[in-house]
Amino acid sequence: MPDGEMPDARWGDARCQTGRCQIPEQTAYRWAISCAWHLASQNLASQNLVSPRLASGIWHLPVWHLPVYQGVNNCKKILSPYRICGYLCVYIAIQQSERFKKSCRMKRFFTLFSIVFLSFSTLYADGGGYKIRVKLENYPEKELTLGFHYGEKQYVKDTASVDADGWFTFQADTLLPCGVYLLVLKPDNSFIQLMIPQEDQDFTVTTDAKNPVDKMKIKGSDDNEIFYDYLRFLNKLRPEADTLRAQQARLKAQKADSIAIANKLNDLDKDVRKFQNDLIAKHPATMSAKIVRSSFEPEPPAFPGDEKESNRLKYFWFKDHYFDNIDIADPCMLRSPILHQKIDYFITKFTPQHPDSVNAAIDIVINKMKNSPESFKYYLIHFLNYYAKSTFVGFDACYVHIAKKYYCSGQANWTKKEDVEKICDNATRLEAHPDRQNRAQHHRDGSQQPATQFVGRGRRLHRFVFLGS
């Protein structure tokens, strides 16, 4: 490991410096060490082992060209996966420095290392899992379910029983994948939405099961406070908007009154848009902002020409900008009710339903997800399944396109070799005989098992079921 000179930090009359620990050039690793040094310096000062000035000097040592410190919450988030590397690098860095060991008393050396180690342990214990406590008024049931969105479906993550004090506690030593989660209420499966960002997963929820939005109180999660402030704002405007729409429906024949009501509705829409824009501007990195922004439709410019030409140009503009307000590669959005609706509409409604056009649209979606393995995998499997089951004439071509371009080229690396071979063989046969009625039905886990047989055009053909992992 190469040594690196560092600016001196005073320890009494001694001058100390340390070497540089060479680790992979990944920002998360460097942040982990940055957070460790920061907490170590804070703890040294708080225990009166060194002066605040010296503690500041320790913190400002530019170990491994550290980036700007990102805050304690980010430390909690970053340290968990890299804590072992952090322990070793801090230890190696200090051990490398001969001048440090010669100039500084051993007792203080071990004190410094112990505090760094404990700082890592404390942060990991504090930020290495989720803990969501929920108390519901007007909810007599003894169990509460935590669910989550995933693509087009919803799944159960956890179930909690009520304790003696009326709390339901969902807890584990690992963090939840970010997304929109659901508190599912018995017996009717109504639900309360929760934003689960990549951090801030230790919080409490208290509300009324019969009026969850207006009675919602959140402690420990800024994202959920922002989200429920937004929902309460919408609830406040909804009665007026509903009344105006009912009046508008009754007064369609009276043009002047109808226009006046339409103007009032436009004013309410402007109020909502202003609130949404302010939310996004003030809290751009939150799940709430992502959800709100994804509801915005891109606004096209004015196009020249007659109506037909203008509409044609507008269509192609929308096609290029359809996903401007949503990052479809963000795994947080994969666990939301928004993403699948937008992608499904883009593929099956917005795009002309011709195999060549659909194939091009699928490529647009998949290419945007190339750097997001989870989303890439989910939607590649989804599209293969969807067009394997399609009953529309000619849409075998979509199945063939997906198989040939992505599976047969080795991009579906989660699928077993023998399953890829069967997928590619099936695609080749369909390509050679497009009128054949056999299909390959694929599911989420990618494995393949022989299933039912059926008759197509007088022939008995095997139908395979592929289950994805």
Check residue 300 and report its DSSP letter. P
How many whole angstroms separate alpha carbon 372 and alpha carbon 234? 33
Mean pLDDT in the chain? 76
Q: Which residue has the higher pLDDT, 310 or 69?
A: 310
Whether the CB-CB separation of 443 and 468 falls below 8 Å is answered with yes
The whole-angstrom separation of Cα 1 and Cα 21 is 6
Least confident of 17-21, 178-182, 233-237, 350-354: 17-21
Total-model pTM: 0.67
Is the pLDDT score of 217 beyond 90? Answer: yes
Question: Quick one: average pLDDT of 312-331?
Answer: 95
- pLDDT at position 222 over 90: yes
Nearest-angstrom CA–CA distance, 43 and 107: 16
Q: Greater confidence, 92 or 306?
A: 306
Number of helices (H), then strands (E), belonging to the chain: the values are 15, 13
Tens digit of each residue's pLDDT (9 = 90 or more) over 173-204: 999 999 999 999 999 999 999 999 988 899 99
Whether pLDDT at 50 is above 70: no
DSSP symbol at 176 = P
Round to whole Å and give the CA distance between 403 and 400. 5
Handedness of CA 42, 43, 44, 47 (dihedral sign): positive
Beta bridge partners of 148: 155, 181
pLDDT(80) > 80 = no
Give the three-state DSSP class for 373.
helix
What's the rounded mean pLDDT across residues 211-235?
96
Reported as a single tens digit per residue, the pLDDT across 411-422 is 999 999 999 999
Distances 92 to 16, 33, 63, 201, 466 between C-alpha atoms, Å: 15, 12, 12, 32, 49
Q: How many CB atoms lie within 10 A of CB 389?
A: 13
Q: What is the pLDDT of residue 108?
A: 54
Nearest partner of 151 among 9, 286, 342, 280, judged by Cα: 342
Residue 268 has pLDDT above 90, yes or no: yes
Instruction: Say what the pLDDT of residue 317 is.
Output: 96
Give the model confidence (pLDDT) of 338-396 as tens digits: 999 999 999 999 999 999 999 999 999 999 999 999 999 999 999 999 999 988 888 99
Banded pLDDT at 250 (limits 50, 70, 90) = confident
Kindly tell me if the per-residue pLDDT of 171 is higher than 90: yes
pLDDT in tens, 95-152: 444 444 444 444 455 555 555 555 544 444 445 799 999 999 999 999 999 999 999 9
Of the two residues 226 and 109, the one the predictor is more confident about is 226
16-20, 139-143, 255-259, 347-351: range with lowest mean pLDDT: 16-20
**pLDDT for the residue 38:** 54
User: Among the listed ranges 13-27, 210-224, 329-343, which one has the minimum average pLDDT value?
Assistant: 13-27
Determine the pLDDT at residue 23: 38
How large a percentage of the chain has pLDDT more than 70? 65
Q: Above 50 in pLDDT, residue 40? A: yes
- With a CB cutoff of 8 Å and minimum separation 6, the contacts of 126 are 76, 202
Residues 221/243, Cβ–Cβ less than 8 Å: no
pLDDT higher than 70, residue 469 = no
- Per-residue pLDDT, 454: 24
